[in-house]
Structures are given as C-alpha cells and as structure tokens.
C-alpha cells in the first residue's frame, strides 16, 4: 500500500477551526473534510489571530522541515500585526477580545488600545502589505522547489481584486475596483502616480505563480454564508464551500 500523503495546514483562526467547539471541528472544518476525502496524513499548525508574517514564518519552517509532501497556507487579513513587548508576550493589533492590555509597567485602557490600533492601521497600509504577501509566496515557492515539497495558497481574508492582474486602460475611473482605488489613494493622486503604483503591483503579480492559489481573488471571507455556533467565524456550509475549492484544486493540479 502506498504511503499516505503528508500535508501541513497553516493559517489563522479560520483554518484552526475557531467558531466551533474543539470536539466538533473534525467533522466541520475544511481541512479535516479534505483530509478524509483524500485519506491524508494531516497536521494543522494554525494559530488564531495570526498575521501574514507569522503565517509565513510557520509555513517556511514547515516547508524546510522536510516532514511534509504538501504545505497548504491560508493567508489572513493584510493589516494584522503582532507586537512583542517582552518575552513570551504578544500584543495583537486585531484582538478585540480583551478590553485592555497590561504587561509589567505597560497598561493600555480599552480607549487607549483602540486609539493605538487606529494609529497603527494608518501606518500599516494594504499597498505595501500586498507586495510583502506576494514576496512571502515567492519565497515559499522557491523553498518548496528545493525541498521537493508542493505548496498551496488559500485566500482566507485577503480583499484584493482581479483588476490587479488586468491591463490598465485609459479610463482609470471605470477600470479599477473601489478597493484598488482605495489602496492607490485614487482621489488624491494624479493619473501618472496612479499608473505608476498600479503598475508596480501588476509587475509583482507577474512574478507570482498564480496556479498555486486555490481561490486567488475569491476569498473565503467573501463566501461566508453561515457562522459557527460560537459566532463570528465561518459555519458548516462555508467550510464545505472552502473544502470543495481546495479539493478541486488538488485534483486539477494532480497533487494526489
């Protein structure tokens, strides 16, 4: 009997299975559904609240470890950021569960915390984060080639639009999506500047292997149709949708 394919799943709370009690996740979360469908030997190293940088670092370790045949990476929101004020302490800029933050002589009340997070969001723009995410994918793809590993990328919470890979037209107003206009600061720049920055994004996409993506411009978040019993996170039908997309990708690429 051939050995079962060893697959590592990595991402944020979506892939970890938050939204469901732990005892319900094996029958519900998309990676478990796909694992059963293809009889995989699977490991899940996802962590809730992860930024794309922390996801990238875990996936890089997984690829370099030589433990897996396939590493599936689910990317999260672009502007998430983890800060570490001390050993074994992390401040999540996207964490709304704790009303305040306290570490040694650092204290942020709920209002101070929100003001700080709002400031960080102003300084942590999606434009550069898109360039960084594409670099993460390129690095993982290159590492995979050297370790005889296959990589799969899943769009969990990335809001980018397909116009980022489509040729620009002279009618910039109608050829760009509202999201792309927002990251290019459309209303505050000249046409020359808009074309310059849009072209930089498009050039970066040209370097990327988009065949490695399950749902490049059709994010999991955009396709949430229900929620789990704990609220906020995707529910049964949403995870089934994602499982179908991933299964189709695995079949199409003949990964199994």
Asked, for residue 117, whether it belongs to a domain, the answer is yes
Q: Are 256 and 5 in contact (CB under 8 A)?
A: yes
Count of domains observed in the chain: 2
What is the reported pTM?
0.94
Considering the domain boundaries, does residue 65 fall inside one?
yes
> For residues 174 and 217, what is the distance between their CA atoms, to the nearest angstrom?
19
- Within this chain, do residues 75 and 86 fall inside the same structural domain, yes or no? no
How far is the C-alpha of 97 from the C-alpha of 42, rounded, in Å? 30
134 φψ region: left (φ > 0), alpha (ψ -120 to 50), beta (else): alpha
The position carrying tokens 């529910």 is 235
d(CA 104, CA 23): 36
Is residue 28 located within the same domain as residue 144? yes
The verdict on 14 and 39 lying in the same domain is: yes
On the question of pLDDT at 2 being above 70, the answer is no
- Spatial contact of 37 and 73, defined as CB atoms under 8 Å apart: no
115 plus 235 within the same structural domain: no
Q: What digits encode the pLDDT tens for the residues 140-195? A: 999 999 999 999 999 999 999 999 998 888 899 998 999 999 999 999 999 999 99
Question: What CATH number should be reported for the domain holding residue 33?
Answer: 3.40.50.1110
What is the span of the domain harbouring residue 244? 6-81+132-160+210-252
User: Is residue 153 one of the residues assigned to a domain?
Assistant: yes
Q: Are residues 53 and 95 part of one domain?
A: no
Same domain, 53 and 151: yes
Domain boundary among 123, 152, 175: 123
pLDDT in tens, 193-234: 999 999 999 999 999 999 999 999 999 999 999 999 988 899
Q: Give how far the C-alpha of residue 212 lies from the chain's centroid of Cα atoms, to the nearest Å.
A: 14
């Amino acid at each position: 009997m051939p050995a079962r394919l060893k697959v590592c799943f990595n991402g944020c709370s979506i892939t970890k299975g938050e939204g469901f009690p732990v005892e319900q996740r094996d029958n519900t979360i998309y990676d478990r559904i796909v694992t059963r469908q293809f009889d995989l030997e699977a490991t899940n190293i996802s962590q809730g609240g992860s930024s794309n940088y922390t996801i990238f670092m875990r996936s890089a370790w997984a690829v370099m470890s030589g433990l897996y045949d396939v590493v599936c990476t689910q990317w999260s929101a672009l502007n998430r950021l983890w800060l570490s004020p001390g050993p074994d302490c992390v401040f999540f800029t996207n964490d709304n569960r704790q009303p305040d933050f306290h570490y040694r002589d650092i204290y942020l009340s709920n209002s101070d915390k929100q003001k700080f997070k709002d400031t960080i969001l102003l300084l942590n723009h999606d434009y550069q984060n898109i360039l960084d995410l594409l670099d993460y994918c390129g690095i993982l793809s290159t590492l995979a080639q050297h370790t005889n590993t296959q990589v799969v990328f899943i769009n969990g919470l990335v809001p980018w639009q397909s116009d980022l890979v489509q040729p620009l037209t002279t009618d910039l107003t109608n050829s760009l999506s509202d999201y792309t206009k927002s990251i290019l600061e459309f209303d505050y720049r000249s046409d020359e500047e808009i074309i310059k920055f849009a072209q930089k994004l498009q050039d970066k996409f040209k370097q990327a292997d988009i065949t490695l993506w399950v749902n490049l411009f059709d994010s999991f978040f955009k396709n949430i149709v229900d929620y789990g019993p704990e609220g906020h996170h995707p529910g049964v039908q949403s995870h089934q949708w994602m499982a179908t997309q991933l299964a189709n990708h695995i079949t199409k690429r003949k990964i199994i």
